[in-house]
Amino acid sequence: EREGYPHFMLKEIHEQPRALQETMGSSISDLQLTPAQIRGFSKVVITACGTSYHAGLIGKYVLERLARVPVDVDVASEFRYSDPLIDENSLVIAMSQSGETADTLAAIKEARKKGCRTLSITNVVDSTITRETDDVIYTRAGTEISIAATKAYTTQVMVMYLLGMLFARERGWCSTDKLAVLEAVLYQVPDWIEEILEQENNIQEIAGHYHTCDDFFYLGRGLDWAVALEGALKLKETSYVHAEAFAAGELKHGPLALITEGVPVVALATQEDLMEKTVSNIRVVKARGGSAIGITVGQSDLVDETCDYVFQLPKAPSVCEPAAVSGCSAALCLLHILCPGLRCR
């Protein structure tokens, strides 16, 4: 069943291009929301746990940028205790790979109690969550056996983009031309991920330089921060080492104290408009003796000059800025490969 892969996580990492194609092909076609309902929501709340929560953070970015609808992202285990400010004009989205996570189910019950419209995004057909929500979108990742979520996450991110585009279209915030470009970009993502997967040996080699380190830090801004959080979670649960993610700008507000000689910092710099800012944070890391692993898109002299190792992700056309999905999915894919590499302690 592992088809020659040493473990299911790696097999599922390699299944990402296919899973994304499947998800793009069919996932939001069953959505029952009418254009009037989509236009009528005053806010969207995404609630989820763990990796699904991290995909929700990307969802906030995408929905707010593309459709200009306010989005909150809440950890599901906190949601029902927070007396959330939601009503019948809110759309509450519960994201869960399994569709069975107790806290996420409890959050959706709370949303229904308050009269909200509810939508689940799940990978498992007929899971409990699908019966608790008004609408369902299925990610088409295929069965995920590995406890560490990989293809489930990337397909959730893809659904967030598809939903963002639908909301943008209905709410009139994006030109048809821009949406067409974004759609074309999304169709390229599976190929980009293939390209990243081809760098696997390279990535393993670099991982080999760090496999005795006990602490890892991840930093990024905007979308990169959301991806950094998922990278750190993945490293913890697969490698049993301490890993933390920071918004890059927060580094100087305390965490810098932890960056000492040789401490590895994975710096995500995939968004051109934020590149210089993130590079200035990398410089600070280097000045403290830290070791920087940069993840960027295309060739960036700035990142090259400051980092000890650099991974280049395929570059999306910059014509539409949320096309950062290329960076984000591919960066994640890369982090997923890096994690098992680091496990051989």
Residues that bind ligand M6R (CB under 6 A): 49-52, 96-98, 101, 104, 147-149, 237
Is the Cβ of residue 238 or residue 296 nearer to ligand M6R in the bound state?
238
Q: How is the beta sheet containing 242-247 ordered, strand by strand?
A: 242-247, 215-220, 264-269, 291-297, 309-313
CA distance 189 to 311: 17
Is the Cβ of residue 97 or residue 133 nearer to ligand M6R in the bound state?
97
Is the Cβ of residue 103 or residue 135 nearer to ligand M6R in the bound state?
103
> Where are the alpha helices (H) located in 90-245, listed in sequence order?
102-113, 128-132, 151-171, 176-197, 200-210, 223-239
In the complex, what is the shortest distance from the CB of residue 97 to ligand M6R, in angstroms, rounded to a whole number?
4
Closest residue to ligand M6R, based on beta-carbon distance:
50
Q: Which two tokens stand for residue 274?
A: 């934020």
DSSP-derived secondary structure for 52-78 = HHHHHHHHHHHHHHHH---EEEEEHHH
For 198, 207, 245, 293, the CA distances from 307, given in Å and listed in that order, are 22, 15, 18, 6
CA distance 94 to 81: 16
In the complex, what is the shortest distance from the CB of residue 335 to ligand M6R, in angstroms, rounded to a whole number?
12
Is the Cβ of residue 53 or residue 225 nearer to ligand M6R in the bound state?
53
For 40, 126, 297, the CA distances from 274, given in Å and listed in that order, are 33, 41, 12
In the complex, what is the shortest distance from the CB of residue 165 to ligand M6R, in angstroms, rounded to a whole number?
23
Is the Cβ of residue 156 or residue 296 nearer to ligand M6R in the bound state?
156
Which contacts qualify for 237-241: CB closer than 8 Å, 24 or more apart? 237/147, 237/148, 238/9, 238/148, 238/339, 238/340, 238/342, 238/343, 239/339, 239/342, 239/343, 239/345, 240/343, 241/213, 241/214, 241/215, 241/216, 241/342, 241/345
In the complex, what is the shortest distance from the CB of residue 189 to ligand M6R, in angstroms, rounded to a whole number?
20
Contact 187, 324 (CB under 8 A): no
List phi, psi (to 5°) of 339.
-60, -55
In the complex, what is the shortest distance from the CB of residue 317 to ligand M6R, in angstroms, rounded to a whole number?
31
CA distance 235 to 232: 5
Is the Cβ of residue 49 or residue 136 nearer to ligand M6R in the bound state?
49
Helix-helix angle 151-171:325-343, to 10 degrees: 170
In the complex, what is the shortest distance from the CB of residue 163 to ligand M6R, in angstroms, rounded to a whole number?
17
Is the Cβ of residue 52 or residue 239 nearer to ligand M6R in the bound state?
52
Is the Cβ of residue 147 or residue 257 nearer to ligand M6R in the bound state?
147
Q: Which two tokens stand for residue 245?
A: 């993610």
Is the Cβ of residue 148 or residue 316 nearer to ligand M6R in the bound state?
148
